[in-house]
Amino acid sequence: MTSISIGPFALMTSTALVLVSILSVWFLVSFFTKSTDYHKFATDTLFWGVAIGFLASRITFVIALWDIYQADWLSILDVRDGGFNPFVGWFAGTTFIIFRARGQRKLMSAYFKSALIASGIIFPLFVLNTLISSQSSVNSLEVVTAEGAPHSLNIQTGKPLVINFWASWCPPCRREMPVLQDAQQKHGSIQFVFINQKESPKTARQFLDSQRITIKNNYFDFTGTSATQLGAYGLPTTLFFNAKGELVESHMGELSEATLQHYLMPLMNDTSKK
């Protein structure tokens, strides 16, 4: 499952689990230290640990893709593109918390117990979500062409595959479409497929024409079944499959040029090895 839907809101499953992990640790630390004189220090340290981890994660990602970000400095501040290095973020935040709590055995004990309990609850969910996402039994999707003809879209194409679920009423979908168009034209070794959700071909075509967007492999799903089959419950959602047809990455929300390049690099490396 790549994303979850809560009422009108949708969130990537991995992001939801990270947020639950942080909130769980925060609640447990607050509980274990509530009657101590270092309660405020303990929760403040957690806050700054999360903030530092967030910044370190973003800065590391920007540096890795600096060639792209330097063309538009303001895009560095637009974290809606989801451009983060989670491993660096967790390391930086944890290191800060340990440094601040050094020499305080009771506080370190509260942090350790909280992290251990939260990990015992959340980690199995991470593993389960990874297994479900990577072992999808979906081999093909039933879609419709712009001419209204039924089409069976094969996921196992023998080459890397990118599937983008979109709709013209969705602002992030509209903003990311030029980036996806350019990537499709540039990376011929990767197959890009666009599946419009619950719109008529006429409506989609009017949007594409008005923005002078030209994309290949644009299909239609009038019921939204294809996205549901792949566990995508929000728009836009972009899924990245390797040449074996295995889902290796997913992204819900607007893609920037940098984040798209981040996801495409492993796929391009696979094709270059052949």
**Which is the CATH superfamily of the domain at 140-273?**
Glutaredoxin (3.40.30.10)
Q: Please write the tens of the pLDDT for every residue from 2-60.
A: 666 555 556 677 788 889 999 999 999 999 999 999 999 999 999 999 999 999 999 99
Q: What is the pTM of this model?
A: 0.85
DSSP 253: S
Q: Please write the tens of the pLDDT for every residue from 22-35.
A: 999 999 999 999 99
Beta bridge partners, 144, equal: 150, 220
Rounded distance between C-alpha atoms, residue 12 and residue 234, angstroms: 8
Residue whose structure tokens are 């015992």: 120
Q: Please write the tens of the pLDDT for every residue from 220-237.
A: 999 999 998 888 888 999
Domain range annotation of the chain: 3-134, 140-273
Rounded distance between C-alpha atoms, residue 19 and residue 30, angstroms: 16
- 167 has a pLDDT exceeding 80: yes
Give the pLDDT of residue 209. 95
Backbone φ and ψ of 104, nearest 5°: -110, 90
Give the pLDDT of residue 234. 86
12: nearest Cα among 160, 231, 242, 247 = 231
Give the pLDDT of residue 6. 55
Residue whose structure tokens are 């340990």: 98
| CB of 237 closer than 8 Å to CB of 251 | yes
